[in-house]
């Protein structure tokens, strides 16, 4: 009897987080118009098709396997998992190419779970969180600097992250809309001091198409715990990156292959209380 009265168990499903990620992607404005130059399209699409043909020949792909691929590709779309699939397996390479020439803090993928216009917060801020938000408290402090070293007042740091259960607000049910998301405006000295909780590792949904591929291939589905940051400063390139945690699970085996040694934080215990603290300056390139 009580079962019927109990609230439905809130679960993150591939199709609910996929639908939100797809809607989020479709609503976002990219800074640049998509490539339409026919020569470029022909080169890229042509080489992709040729690479696939070579794989078919080299591995003597059967009709059964071809049909399995077709069914799987159809299902990724139905699950809304194109953003997840592309961001997990390809975005790290696009990011490498895009930021090859930049100094400053290394980049890392944006991923499927960024939402613009998170609540604006002062330089000394606590990310929006529930009362008794589970997880190890983290104090994240630093400055936003230009590559030549000068502080950049007027910079903003958009932050988003998974919670202690590895779930992102707006992509999992039952969380406050802006939980662990904020837009921090740095101070006149370009400093920030942000209280949050350490993010847990993130597991790719196991009940969708990406999960089925991972299971079928015998891979694991994990990304290490990470803080997402996007730094904007007048006259500078916007930096999109992620910060990881030394010794955290899967730092050396990220399914998205996105960890860089320069992006690994090493927080230390706070003397007078629970939790840990880390200092890390975010450095952006002039345009
Ligand atoms: C994530 O949380 C993420 O950051 C990336 C890059 C891909 C999938 C999920
Ligand atoms: Fe993420």
| Ligand 1 atom index nearest CA of 228 | 4
Beta-carbon contacts of 259 under 8 Å, excluding residues fewer than 6 positions away, are 108, 224, 244, 251, 252
Q: Mean pLDDT by 10-residue block, N- to C-terminus, for the chain (287 residues)?
A: 43 80 81 76 96 98 98 95 96 97 97 97 98 96 98 97 97 96 97 98 94 96 98 97 97 97 97 92 97
Q: What's the pLDDT tens digit per position in 153-198? A: 999 999 999 999 999 999 999 999 999 999 999 999 999 999 999 9
Task: Give the residues surrounding ligand 1 with Cβ less than 6 Å away.
Answer: 84, 87-88, 109, 111-113, 202, 223, 256, 258
Q: What are residue 240's DSSP bridge partners?
A: 230
pTM over 0.85: yes
Helix (H, G, I), strand (E, B) or coil at 267: coil
> Which of 96-122 are b and which e, b meaning 16 or more Cβ less than 10 Å from the residue's Cβ?
beebeeeebbbbbbbbbbbbeebeebe
In angstroms, the CA 36 to CA 231 distance is 29
Map out the domains of the chain as residue ranges. Answer: 2-284
Candidates 2.60.40.1250, 2.60.130.10, 1.10.3720.10, 3.40.50.720; correct CATH number of 2-284?
A: 2.60.130.10
Distance 206 CA to ligand 2 centre (A): 16
Residue ID of nearest Cα to ligand 1 atom 4 = 111
Q: What are residue 276's DSSP bridge partners?
A: 138, 269
Q: What's the pLDDT tens digit per position in 262-280? A: 999 999 999 888 899 999 9
Residue ID of nearest Cα to ligand 1 atom 9 = 111
């Amino acid at each position: 009897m009580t079962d019927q009265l109990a609230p439905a168990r809130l679960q993150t499903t591939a199709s609910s987080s996929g639908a939100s990620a797809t809607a989020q992607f479709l609503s976002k404005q990219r800074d640049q118009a998509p490539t339409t130059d026919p020569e470029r399209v022909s080169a890229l699409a042509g080489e992709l098709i040729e690479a696939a043909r070579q794989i078919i020949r080299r591995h003597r792909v059967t009709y059964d396997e071809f049909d399995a691929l077709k069914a799987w590709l159809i299902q990724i779309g139905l699950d809304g998992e194109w953003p997840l699939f592309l961001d997990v397996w390809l975005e790290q390479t696009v990011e490498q190419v895009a930021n090859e020439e930049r100094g400053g803090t290394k980049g890392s993928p944006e991923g499927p779970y960024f939402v613009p216009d998170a609540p604006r917060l002062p330089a000394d801020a606590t990310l929006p969180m529930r009362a008794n938000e589970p997880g190890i408290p983290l104090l994240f402090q630093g400055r936003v600097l230009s590559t030549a070293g000068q502080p950049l007042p007027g910079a903003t740091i958009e932050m988003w992250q998974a919670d202690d259960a590895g779930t992102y607000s707006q992509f999992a049910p039952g969380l406050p809309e802006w939980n662990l998301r904020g837009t921090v405006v740095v101070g006149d000295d370009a400093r920030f001091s942000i209280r949050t909780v350490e993010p847990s590792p993130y597991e790719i949904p196991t009940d969708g198409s990406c999960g089925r591929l991972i299971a079928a291939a015998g891979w694991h589905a994990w990304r290490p715990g990470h803080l997402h940051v996007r730094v904007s400063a007048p006259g500078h390139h916007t930096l999109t990156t992620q910060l990881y945690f030394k010794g955290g699970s899967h730092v050396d085996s990220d399914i998205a292959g996105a960890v860089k040694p320069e992006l690994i934080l090493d927080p230390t215990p706070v003397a007078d209380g629970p939790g840990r603290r880390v200092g890390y300056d975010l450095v952006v390139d002039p345009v």
